[in-house]
Amino acid sequence: MKPAEVSIIQAKVADLETVAPLFDRYRQFYGQPPDLDRSKAFLRDRLTQDESIVFLAVSETALGFTQLYPSFSSVSLQKVWILNDLFVLPEARKMGVAMALLERAKAWGIETQARRIFLSTAIDNTAAQSLYEKAGYLKDPAFWHYQLDLSQ
């Protein structure tokens, strides 16, 4: 398969049966146990409540997806997008699928007049870092990012 054979579509609720297994595999990549039912419910909630945008890469089958969440920048007084999830099936990697998803996310940001797209990845995920840098993303040299775990 060549990258030109891949289409990027915006997933809707009707696409849940296609997107949910990819989303569940993405979660498993990050060490979570399989849970297709909860994955499907989570995505259904995001899509029906207009809380995220999901782009799906398809050829003969679904190959990958990316999910963006809206946020805002108080400093720039503009919308920003958080590219929270990006997953491509192992057999479809290194074929341009992830780059096509990133390009569609960028186009979406421009279409929605957003200021920027934020993303983060694991420090040891050098393959993803290389992809993001190739797509024009820059490491943030000015800020440390912190998180507070509330699941205790």
Predicted local confidence at residue 96, as pLDDT: 95
pLDDT of amino acid 57 = 98
Domain residue spans of the chain: 8-134
Joined together, the tokens standing for residue 102 give 């990133």
Strand partners of residue 72: 79
Q: What is the pLDDT of residue 59?
A: 93
Q: Is it the case that residue 147 has pLDDT exceeding 90?
A: no
Per the model's pLDDT, the better-predicted residue between 147 and 20 turns out to be: 20
**Residue 38 to residue 134: CA distance in whole angstroms:** 34
Domain 8-134, classified CATH 2.60.40.10, yes or no:
no
Distance between CA atoms of 7 and 23, rounded to whole angstroms? 18
What digits encode the pLDDT tens for the residues 133-146? Answer: 999 999 998 988 88
Taking 60 as the threshold, does the pLDDT of residue 2 lie above it?
no
Answer for the pair 80, 115: CB distance below 8 angstroms, yes or no.
yes
